[in-house]
Structure formats: C-alpha cells, structure tokens
Amino acid sequence: MKRKIFIALLASASLAYACQQGANKGETGETTSDSTEQQKAFDAVIDGKDVKLYALKNDRLHVTLTNYGARLVSLNVKGKEDKQTDVILGYDTADEFKQNASNYYGAIVGRYGNRIGNATFTVNGTTYELEKNNGENSLHGGTNGVYNKVWDVEDASNTAITLAYTSPDGEAGYPGTVTMKVTYSLTDEGGLVIDYEGSTDKETVLNLTNHAYFNLNGEGDSTILDHELQIDADAITEVNETLIPTGKSLPVDGTAFDFRKPQTIGSRIDTDNEQLKVGKGYDHNFELVKGEGFRKVASVYAPKTGIEMQILTTEPGLQFYSGNFMTDSDPKGKEGKGYPFRSAFCLETQHFPDSPNQPSFPSTVLKPGEQYTSKTEYRFFVK
C-alpha cells in the first residue's frame, strides 16, 4: 500500500520533522538531516519494531504522537493571547514511555479499557483467564495490552494519521485475532477526533479508549482542582473496594458526583462519601445520558488559561479519574517536570468497566463478521 506521510514543522516546540514518501505499510522511511533532538529521542526500536515521532498541525492545534502504543505525546492548544499550551502529560523519549508504560500516558488502552473483575470472563461458554495487573483484576488489557505494543502507520497526512495493530489470538488471555485501527484527525473547529475500528475471527470482547492525562493549565502545573467540569450523567456505576462494579447504578443527585452543572473538580472531592473513599477521589464510570449517535457529553474549563475542552462521543460511559494515585515520587515528565498528586485528570470515553461479567451493562461482545466502531472528539475553545 502506497502512502505519503507528511510530518509538519511544529515551531512552538522547535521541532523539525521528517518527510516520508512512497513507503510501504509498516516501513518508516528516511528522516531528513535537520532532525531535532526530540525527534531523535523517539527514534527507537521496541520489540524489534521501529518507533517514530509524528506530528499533526492546523491553525488551531499542534499534536505530536508516537506509534508506540498509538499514543499522544503532546497536544498544544492556543489559550489566552494565543499562547500555546501543552495540555497533556507525557515524557521526552520513547524509552521513558516504555519504562513507565503502566502510567498509560496518552496511549490507546485495551483490548479492554478499564477493569475486568478477577481477570476472568466467559464468552460463548468458554472462560478466559486474563493477565492480573491490578491486584486480582485486569486493567487496560493487562501487561500485554495494546498500549504496550508498536503499531504500524498505515496512512498519514499533515492533519490525520491512521495506526493499525493486529492482536493475535490468546494475547494477554483474550480470544480471537483482533485487527484494530485508530485514526487521529484534526478539524478546523479545534477538534482532535479519534476514530476506532476493529474486527475479529473469534467471538471476543473489545473496548478501546485513549488514556490522555489532561491539565488545561498546561502539563506540569501542580493541580487540576481549579478546573470546572460538567458531565451529562444522572448516575455513576457503583464500585467495590477494588474499583470493580457491583452492578448497581447510583444517582448523582445531591452527591459530590453531580456534575450536570459545572462544578470545580476540587469543590467536593474530599466530601465524606463512601465512593470517594474507595477511589481516593473520582475514579468512576459516569453513565452518560442516552443520546443518538455522536453527541457532546462533557466539558472542562480552566480559568487560568481560558481553555475549554468539550468531549463528544458515541460511547455510553465516561471514566472520570482525578489523578488520585499520582505522587511526588512518580518519574519526572517532560523537561523534568514533576507530576504530583491530582495534577491531571482523565476523561476516558468507554463502555462500562467489567461489562463482560455484568449482563445488565452495555455489551462489549464482538463477533466474527461484525465491525467494532467508536468515535470520540476532544474539541478546544478559548473563553
């Protein structure tokens, strides 16, 4: 398959990118002689496959990403006075992302994003044992999740890139050979769109999402508690002490989980609430108000920078995580910046956690001949 990969110049980060032309699928091509140190820092080989840094750019957004984990590396947004702000956490090199893969920064996670209780599920009468990487549970696909794999760049332009990965039957314990694709694209309206596709040759489960850690004040800022959050959800999914759903929905009305009208993240995070104690803050699936197709489900605003992010999706759930397990001792991030307690949040569009073991939840079963599709957009404005 012929493709042309254009890697744009990202001036604000003083990066020079490579142009790749006429390469076959899976090849990386040659880089130009003006490659910068940051680009070179992503010229790596992981599991015998080449890793590179790529870029997307338009008048509103500047994005860099890597094919290791199909992950976002930076997301620069214009804030007040047109100041460029990188709003996602990450690292400066591919090796750092590999060494700290369990942080999931910016990565596509799966085969099953979020948790599966007791690391087991049954489909079509067969019980499958998954990798346990979260106590007795499996999280984000286990240690061999797709976040820890090198994806192939299938097609790209200056505003879009498609990455593909084929997960073999039995990988991380999951049945079926699953072929998946993720396309990142920029819109003229300030949106970063993520389109997911997948197919299988054996009945399985699939639930992909992106695990970007956001701070709209800029990555490296010390807190997200001043951000104003709104989520279109009347209920959350109750979880037990290991953050596995009990199968019960809890109404948000009158609780610290009511974000139907904008509230600062920090205003009620320390409320005496059993679910907040279990999660050490917010780490819950919000059951989105049902709507048809692709629709707006949430927004976040940072007064400090004036940046507002809207979330649009086709998914029924949104995992809101308020950075409760981040610590001062975590590995340093970009340019040596620390990422301390609650200095980032995640809003992961998804089907519900542990759906394979919860018959009342929206199904994540994928059968041969069916096509898995999902779409999410993070759309940015300045207020």
140 annotated as belonging to a binding site for a ligand: no
Mean predicted confidence (pLDDT) in 279-287: 98
Q: What is the C-alpha to C-alpha distance for residues 21 and 377, in angstroms, rounded to an integer?
A: 29
Mean predicted confidence (pLDDT) in 55-64: 96
Q: Is the four-CA dihedral 278, 291, 266, 110 of positive or negative sign?
A: positive
Q: What is the C-alpha to C-alpha distance for residues 303 and 216, in angstroms, rounded to an integer?
A: 9
Share of the chain above pLDDT 70, in %: 91
pLDDT over 80 at 3, yes or no: no
Of 108, 359, 94, 92, give the one whose Cα is nearest residue 209: 108
User: Does 16 reside within a domain?
Assistant: no
Residue 291 has what pLDDT?
Answer: 84
User: Does 18 reside within a domain?
Assistant: no
DSSP helix/strand/coil, 152: strand
268 annotated as belonging to a binding site for a ligand: no
Residue 40 has what pLDDT?
Answer: 87
Number of structural domains found in the chain: 1
301 annotated as belonging to a binding site for a ligand: no
pLDDT over 70 at 27, yes or no: no
Lookup: tokens for 10 = 């990202």
Q: Please write the tens of the pLDDT for every residue from 245-259.
A: 999 999 999 999 999
| Contact between 31 and 40 (Cβ < 8 Å) | no
Active site residue 211: yes
User: Does 15 reside within a domain?
Assistant: no
Residue 38 has what pLDDT?
Answer: 77
* Other Cβ atoms within 10 Å of 88 Cβ, number: 25
pLDDT over 80 at 25, yes or no: no
User: Does 276 reside within a domain?
Assistant: yes
Mean predicted confidence (pLDDT) in 79-93: 94
212 annotated as belonging to a binding site for a ligand: yes
In eight-state DSSP terms, residue 335 is G
Compute the mean pLDDT over every residue in the chain, rounded to the nearest whole number.
91
Name the active-site residue from 211, 227, 284, 351.
211
Q: What is the C-alpha to C-alpha distance for residues 302 and 304, in angstroms, rounded to an integer?
A: 5
Mean predicted confidence (pLDDT) in 269-279: 97
Q: What is the C-alpha to C-alpha distance for residues 219 and 299, in angstroms, rounded to an integer?
A: 18
Mean predicted confidence (pLDDT) in 268-272: 97
Residue 73 has what pLDDT?
Answer: 98
Residue 31 has what pLDDT?
Answer: 31
Residue 5 has what pLDDT?
Answer: 35
User: Does 9 reside within a domain?
Assistant: no
User: Does 14 reside within a domain?
Assistant: no
pLDDT over 90 at 2, yes or no: no
Of 235, 230, 211, give the one whose Cα is nearest residue 311: 230
Active site residue 81: no
211 annotated as belonging to a binding site for a ligand: yes
pLDDT over 80 at 352, yes or no: yes
In eight-state DSSP terms, residue 281 is S
| Contact between 108 and 210 (Cβ < 8 Å) | yes
382 has which bridge partners?
Answer: 307
pTM of the model: 0.91
User: Does 112 reside within a domain?
Assistant: yes
Amino acid at 292: E
Mean predicted confidence (pLDDT) in 355-380: 98
pLDDT over 60 at 30, yes or no: no
User: Does 2 reside within a domain?
Assistant: no
Provide the total of helices (H) and of strands (E) in the chain, helices listed first: 3, 30
- Residue 146 has phi, psi (to 5 degrees) of -70, -15
Residue 136 has what pLDDT?
Answer: 98
Name the active-site residue from 287, 315, 348, 377.
348
pLDDT over 80 at 14, yes or no: no
| Contact between 317 and 350 (Cβ < 8 Å) | yes
DSSP helix/strand/coil, 126: strand
Lookup: tokens for 180 = 């998946």
- CATH number of the domain encompassing residue 293: 2.70.98.10
Mean predicted confidence (pLDDT) in 117-126: 97
pLDDT over 90 at 221, yes or no: yes
> Domain range spanning residue 343?
34-382
pLDDT over 70 at 4, yes or no: no
Q: What is the C-alpha to C-alpha distance for residues 76 and 12, in angstroms, rounded to an integer?
A: 9
115 annotated as belonging to a binding site for a ligand: yes
